[in-house]
Amino acid sequence: MSDFPKFVEFREEGPREGFQIEKEIYPIEERIELIDMLSDTGLKRIQVGSFVSPQYVPQMADTGLLFQRIKRVPGVKYTTLWLNDRGFRKALTAHEVDIDPRLLFYPSDAFSRSNNNASSMEMRDKQSEWVKLYKEEGYTVDTAYVMTAFGCNYEGDIPQERILDDFRFVLDLCAEEKIPVPILVVADTMGWGNPEAVKRMIGSLREMAPDARIGMHIHDTRGLGIANLHAALSMGVDMFESSIAGLGGCPFAGHGHARAAGNVCTEDAVFLCHELGIETGIDLDKLIAAALKTEQIIGAPLMGRVMHSGGLDKYRKAS
């Protein structure tokens, strides 16, 4: 029996994760225009860019400038990503960044080394240090991610118990530090998940942490993104990270093709929720306009479906 939430929060990752995997560095003016369009859709959280090494991710080198030039809409949070203390310090000093502290766990040691130049256990140990750092700066942890939750391009299938062990560590760490349990995010970083695996994972996580809010970071690498999102919805998950027009992917995840690596498409996911009677607070038509703008910037057909077909309202009104 389905347990759909009444309202779903979408956190937009396109301006960061969408553009970081592209080989071309697109003009900042166009990315500013896209972010401003996204701000007008009803989205309440937009990840603008990341403070990471410009040597390895040159596409994000102008993130600080983006934060200076975008037009902010009241009620919308403009966030960023960091992978180490240095990146966090840059975020703190950048122009009007909405800091959303996160913890990052890597059950795949190979992916951890590729993405962070550190082992899984080293990254786990760092999270304890990050909690203390966040507390010192007056912040509470917002989200805790466990990556490659269903499988890894480097290591293959990841046993569910290894994923749950990292979430167990999060719960113990929160108890030890006397802080609230953050949103527990199941991240299908490389698109290995399927609907039944999603249900098993969410079900097991709910048994472990019945009072915690659960979110998902879904990739549509093999065409199962929307199916996996529907499965998560049926388990009551009410927060998803997605990307406009289906852009996205980690450049260190070993994807064979950048376009196929994309996150679950925001406008397709919002359309699904609306068809299921689930509120999102998002204007689908404005979201589609932003998706078409994204396609114009990239200069190639993108993976979204609803951006090309449109929603159903106009047909319903005409019938």
Residue 17 in contact with residue 249, Cβ under 8 Å?
A: yes
Tally Cβ neighbours within 10 Å of residue 159.
Answer: 9
Catalytic residues: 250
Burial 102-124 (b: 16+ CB within 10 A, else e): bbbbbbbbbbbbbbbebebeebb
DSSP class of 207: H
- In angstroms, the CA 140 to CA 142 distance is 6
Please name which of 265, 316, 298 lies closest in space to residue 23, comparing C-alpha atoms: 298
DSSP count for the chain of H helices, then E strands? 13, 8
Residue 159 in contact with residue 204, Cβ under 8 Å?
A: no
Q: Which residue spans within the chain are E strands per DSSP?
A: 9-12, 45-51, 77-82, 102-105, 143-146, 183-188, 214-218, 239-242
Measured in whole angstroms, how far is the alpha carbon of residue 90 from the centre of its chain?
A: 21
